[in-house]
Amino acid sequence: MIAPFDIVILLLVLICAIAAISVKDLLSAVIILGAYSFLMCLLWSEMGAVDVAFTEASVSAGIGTVLLIAAVSKTKRRSKD
């Protein structure tokens, strides 16, 4: 537990989460979600849960972004609302 890292990472995660749900473009939302998962991995490993951080890293960097983009390629990019 490193207190200053903790506060800063939480702040950045919050920024990423708000941006990911408020952006209109689906592809941009997927990309910001990638940044969210990077910072989430940092948060897990900072709290000492190395195995969870490893899972987060491999799933998000290897599969998650690719699967979401493949799903976006089957739909329209812009959301209606």
Partner 1 sequence: MDNFFLWLGMGLFFLVLLCLYRGVFGPGVLNRVAAISAIGTKTLVILLIMGYIYQRVDMFVDISMVYALLNFLGTITVAKYLEMSGEI
Partner 2 sequence: MTRLTDDIIIRAVARIMIPFIQIYALYVIMHGHHSPGGGFQGGVILGASFILYLITHGLEEARARMSELKAGIFSASGLLIYSGIGLLCLILGSNFLDYGRLSLILKVIPAQARSLGILGVEIGVGITVMAVMFSIFFDISTGGIIPEDEEIKEENG
Query: Which residues bind to partner 1, rule: CB under 8 A?
Result: 2, 4-5, 8-9, 12, 15-16, 19, 23, 25, 27-28, 31-32, 34-35, 38-39, 41-42, 45-46, 48, 50, 53-54, 57-58, 61-62, 65-66, 69-70, 72-73, 77
What does 41 bind: partner 2, partner 1, none (CB cut-off 5 to 8 Å by kind)?
partner 1
Residue given tokens 């960097």 in the structure block: 61
CB atoms within 10 A of CB 54: 13
User: Is there binding between residue 50 and partner 2 (CB under 8 A)?
Assistant: yes
Shortest spacing between CB 40 and partner 2, in angstroms: 15
Q: Buried (b) or exposed (e) across 1-26, using 16+ Cβ within 10 A?
A: eeeeeeeebeebbeebeeebeeeeeb
C-alpha to C-alpha distance for 23 and 56, rounded to whole angstroms: 23
What does 74 bind: partner 1, partner 2, none (CB cut-off 5 to 8 Å by kind)?
partner 2
